[in-house]
Structure 1
Amino acid sequence: MAFGSVLLEILKRPTIGEVLSEILIFVIPLWIAVAVGVVVGWAWKPKWASNLSREMLLDSKVSKEDKKGEFSATTISSMIPSLNSLKFQLPSCVSWAADDGGIQKDSFSVPPTLNSECSSSKTEMEKSNLVTGDDLEHLCKLVEVKDGGPAWIQMMDRSTPTMSYQAWRRDPETGPPQYRSRTVYEDAIPEMVRDFFWDDEFRAQWDDMLLHAETLEECPTTGTMVVQWVRKFPFFCSDREYIIGRRIWESGRFYYCVTKGVPCSSVPRRNKPRRVDLYYSSWCIRAVESKRGDGQLTACEVILFHNEDMGIPWEIAKLGVRQGMWGAVKKIDPGLRAYQKYRASAGPLSRSAFMAQINTKVSADYLRSLESSTSDSLEIETLEPPKKCVGNNVPRLLLIGGAVALACTLDRGLVTKALIFGVARKFAIGRRL
């Protein structure tokens, strides 16, 4: 009401010049307040915003140069538009808005190197110790909670009639957050679950994050493989490329499956998709008693350990994982049941599933000797406590100005700005994210 009366008084001035001068005097304090907020917010801008800004600028520059036709056909084919989800299976987890463009899977093609014998390149792969006994030792200690790392904090405990799931997280002093999960599938045998997770050809039917999978190298003697994956990532990032070394050890009906990022000079780096170097995702598969309590080992337990540096701020990645983890995990069980039916119908065995059956045999005594050399870790069985809201103690001007600066730093699009301003508004009114 007061604003309207003041504006009406201004419009009653006899000349246009006086009206304009009065309006100018009226809005100057507002502009000064906005400017101060932006300056203060920019000075307060976190370091990860600057890092993400540089990635955005690089992506924007690549896109503009691509439109001008300054790249060769090979370079253009390697620039794949980003798609839309981070469903962290963990990896993957929360759904995001779709980015523009489609996916041209042909641009991921790398000539495979597959032979019935270990070629000279595969011999070099083994000599370079891509996946070794040290990786088996590390996984064994993780499984038995004897790696000496920080405490595991339980995040989730959910179940369905055919599956139960528990998840933990811990934050090491250096490196990205680490995740541990225990999944029990009813009416499943370890060998089937082992093949299921190794089968890249079938994975495309249930893992909607996977855009491309290709075997680069393999050794039929040890079962060691080097594979290339390309996975979907959020709308504000390019998709991610993984060069993964993997191998399976067998002890009775216990299977220790190691997958981790490895160097590969034969696949050049590209601007898009962005290469993820720090990647670790390994699991132990074994038969366990069914929850029906009949004493029969008709269920299969999968203990998974995962961490990776995706190039996304770790706090944002943790939020995405926590919000979308269950939605992603519960999609795995239907995929496993479809795989069981496929194998029961005598469907052809894929090459990657065949390689999953080539395992390095180790004794139980040897595994126990690996586990005994390190102190236990502390596992916390309580759910992660909610974080306290600190927004009430921060001046509203700082939050709003910081949100303006951050939104302009990250992206010029309305979606990102709306997200940032929404977060700032929640903090400013004292609500917890």
Structure 2
Amino acid sequence: MAAVLEMVLTNGFFWDLFAFVTPLWVAVSVGLLVGWMWKPKWVEKVVAVGRGGRERRAGQIIQQQPVFDSSSSASSGSSIPQCSSCNSWVSEGTSEGSSSAVMDSSPEKDQSAVVNDSDFEHLWRLVEMRDGGPDWHEMMDRETPTMTYQAWRRDPQTGPPQYRSRTVYEDATPELVRDFFWDDEFRVKWDDMLANAATLEEWEDTGTMIVHWVRKFPFFCSDREYIIGRRIWQSGGSYYCVTKGVAYPSLPRRNKPRRVDLYYSSWCIRAVESRRGDGQLTACEVLLFHHEDMGIPWEIAKLGVRQGMWGAVRKIEPGLRAYQAARTRGEPLSRCAAMAQINTKVDPNYSRPMELVESSQLEVETPKKAWRINIPKYFIVGSAVVLACSLDQRLLTKATIFGVARRFSKIGGRRL
């Protein structure tokens, strides 16, 4: 399912966009060419002045740039090393946030920096619709004789659009679908946009992997490069599969293919009842949550996804059925599929951890609120009794005192 958005944006959408934009590009190019040929003389003067100003500013910046002095740092106790290429990745268009992630994290040394339990909890919140994000808006509801598909989108305040989909495959087990989406060696047989896939690191104790993908884009766009950390948790009969972009300093950044830093594609796989209505759990449900920033304007990306989503989704099922047939024939598992079967077990009672915490907080807070409400009532009524017994009837009647006390107690209860 992680390939749906990439296939949408690279197969149908880009070619449709290219056919739509090409006449505009031609018109603009011709206009610029004609305009430049007939440009007035004052344009050349303005260009020359602008070029000279940029050169002067560049010279000033070079002169003002501080130079690191190794001798002064040694005398002051600084341990910062000199490195002429330390900032090379900044010049390649890396954002400040992703730059700090590359410097601070070292996934080669600690697998907890790749994918950890907090990623499982985040995916669980998404599946249970308890992540606190904006509402989802339905985009599509389609079906075939052996598959049903629904898709939603939401637009967070920051970041790219987020997509949620629900796909149900008839006559498929969760274990088969889990291995299918994890199997990079088989993926190249059905995903024609995957140019290369390689495993960079793996940990057999948890099944955590770091993989390197290169996805093919049309000729007018550079290919995209992904460094993905992934891991699977199992809770009862449900599999929570997390894949996300991670930093990997050992693999330097290049101009081409263009690296995609912001990438999240995770899904929950579980058995559900077949739509045949026989009460058997012979169908498999896949809940996918996906977002990424490929360097394409988000509004254009949303238009492309809407136009090409269904066509891309339909191309996945033939791959799944071919994989199902290969497994039925007893073909050996690939290394990636074998790693998919190493799962972190989660107690099924953990399926609602946040709900249990919230309910326990309510149970603790309720008596406190009731006690705070009753204290003013007891204090006011008790004070009224003392006052009524001590004052002279000619100054203030007991009935008046108790009436005022009751009114104050009600006001105090409402305010607290």
| Class of the TM-score when normalised by the shorter of the 2 chains | 0.5 to 0.7
- Corresponding residue SS for 1:303: strand
CA deviation after TM superposition for structure 1 residue 370, in Å: 4.1
CA deviation after TM superposition for structure 1 residue 130, in Å: 1.3
Partner of 2:334: 350
Partner of 2:146: 162
Confirm or deny that 1:125 pairs with 2:110: yes
* Distance in 1 of aligned mates of 2:283 and 2:267: 16
Structure label with greater radius of gyration: 2
CA offset digits 1:68-87 (Å, max 9, x no partner): xxxxxxxxxxxxxxxxxxx9
Compare the two structures and name the one with the higher helix fraction. 2
CA deviation after TM superposition for structure 1 residue 313, in Å: 0.4
Confirm or deny that 1:191 pairs with 2:106: no
**Which of these residues, 176, 180, 185, is aligned with residue 164 of structure 2?**
180
Contact 1:254 1:286 in 2 (8 A): yes
Q: What CA RMSD, in Å, does the superposition of the two structures yield over aligned residues?
A: 2.1
**Which of these residues, 92, 95, 108, is aligned with residue 7 of structure 2?**
92
Partner of 1:116: none
Confirm or deny that 1:240 pairs with 2:155: no
Partner of 2:208: 224
CA deviation after TM superposition for structure 1 residue 350, in Å: 0.2
Contact 2:215 2:223 in 1 (8 A): yes
Partner of 2:236: 252
Partner of 2:101: none
Confirm or deny that 1:203 pairs with 2:187: yes
* Distance in 2 of aligned mates of 1:122 and 1:346: 35
Contact 2:107 2:248 in 1 (8 A): no
TM-score of the superposed pair, with normalisation by structure 2:
0.62
Q: Which amino acid aligns with 2:236?
A: G
**Which stretches in structure 2 are left out of the alignment for 5+ residues?**
19-105, 360-416
**Which of these residues, 281, 293, 297, is aligned with residue 297 of structure 1?**
281
Taking structure 1 as reference, are residues 193 and 310 closer, same or farther at Cα in structure 2, changes over 3 Å only?
Answer: same
- For this pair of structures, how many residues does the alignment match? 267
Contact 1:137 1:371 in 2 (8 A): no
Taking structure 1 as reference, are residues 272 and 123 closer, same or farther at Cα in structure 2, changes over 3 Å only?
Answer: closer
CA deviation after TM superposition for structure 1 residue 236, in Å: 2.9
- Corresponding residue SS for 1:295: coil
CA deviation after TM superposition for structure 1 residue 367, in Å: 2.7
**Percent identity between the two aligned chains:** 72
* Distance in 1 of aligned mates of 2:181 and 2:285: 13
Q: Which amino acid aligns with 1:124?
A: K
CA offset digits 1:267-299 (Å, max 9, x no partner): 111110000000000000000000000000000
- Corresponding residue SS for 1:358: coil
Partner of 2:77: none
CA deviation after TM superposition for structure 1 residue 235, in Å: 3.7
CA deviation after TM superposition for structure 1 residue 253, in Å: 1.3
Partner of 2:299: 315
Taking structure 1 as reference, are residues 286 and 235 closer, same or farther at Cα in structure 2, changes over 3 Å only?
Answer: same
**Which stretches in structure 1 are left out of the alignment for 5+ residues?**
1-86, 100-120, 376-433
CA deviation after TM superposition for structure 1 residue 365, in Å: 1.8
* Distance in 2 of aligned mates of 1:210 and 1:373: 43
Confirm or deny that 1:150 pairs with 2:134: yes
Taking structure 1 as reference, are residues 371 and 210 closer, same or farther at Cα in structure 2, changes over 3 Å only?
Answer: farther
Confirm or deny that 1:361 pairs with 2:345: yes
* Distance in 2 of aligned mates of 1:370 and 1:226: 29
Q: Which amino acid aligns with 2:329?
A: S
Q: Which has the higher contact order (CA 8 A, sep 6+)?
A: 1
CA offset digits 1:20-62 (Å, max 9, x no partner): xxxxxxxxxxxxxxxxxxxxxxxxxxxxxxxxxxxxxxxxxxx
* Distance in 2 of aligned mates of 1:172 and 1:288: 30
